[in-house]
Amino acid sequence: MGSPAVVLLRIAPLITATAGHICTLTQTIAFTTFMHLSVPTAHAPSVRAWTRPYLFNLGPIVLTAHLLALALLTCNTLPNLAVNAGMGPRVRQLYGIALGLEVLSVSLVGPKYRAAKMCWEGTDAKATVKGLGMIKRVNGWRLLLVDLPNWSCVLAAVVLELGK
C-alpha cells in the first residue's frame, strides 16, 4: 500500500467521516433524550441533574472524535507530507476535510448546545421544543450536505483503488 503517510492520507477521509457520525449520533441521542416526556419542564437545574450521568458517558466519545479529526486534519494540510505522498491536490479538492471539521464542531459543548441551553433556561416549553427541533434539522442538513458527499468520495476512492 505504501508508506504510513500514504496509508494515513488515504484512510483519513473515512476516519474523519466516521468521527462526524459519532458526533452526530451522540447529539441525536442526547437531544432526543432531552425532548423525552420524562423531563417534565424546561427548568435548567432539574435537566442538568437528570442528564449529568448520561452526558458524562458521552463526553469521552465526543472528545475522541474531535481529537481524531484534528489529528487527521493536520496530516492532510501539511503541504510537504501531502506533496511527498503525491496526493496534495486530490486530498484538498476531493474530500474537503476543512469544511467537514468546521461542521463537525457541533459537539455537546458547541454553539448549538448553548442555544439549546438558553431554550431550556427559558420558561416557555414551546420555545424549548422549537429550539431543539432547529438543532435536529441542522444536523439533518449536515448529514445530507457534508457526510453523504464525504462517504461518496470515500466509496469512489476505494472502488478506484480496488480497480487498479
Its sign, for the CA torsion 17, 22, 27, 32, is: positive
Contact 3, 85 (CB under 8 A): yes
Contact 76, 12 (CB under 8 A): yes
**DSSP code for 106:** -
**DSSP code for 1:** -
* Tens digit of each residue's pLDDT, the chain (164 residues): 566 556 655 666 666 666 666 666 666 666 665 555 444 454 455 555 555 555 555 556 556 656 665 665 565 555 545 555 554 444 443 344 444 444 444 444 455 555 555 555 555 566 666 666 666 666 666 666 656 666 666 666 667 767 77
Fill in the amino acid letter for 146.
V
Query: Could you tell me the residue ranges of all domains in the chain?
Result: 4-162
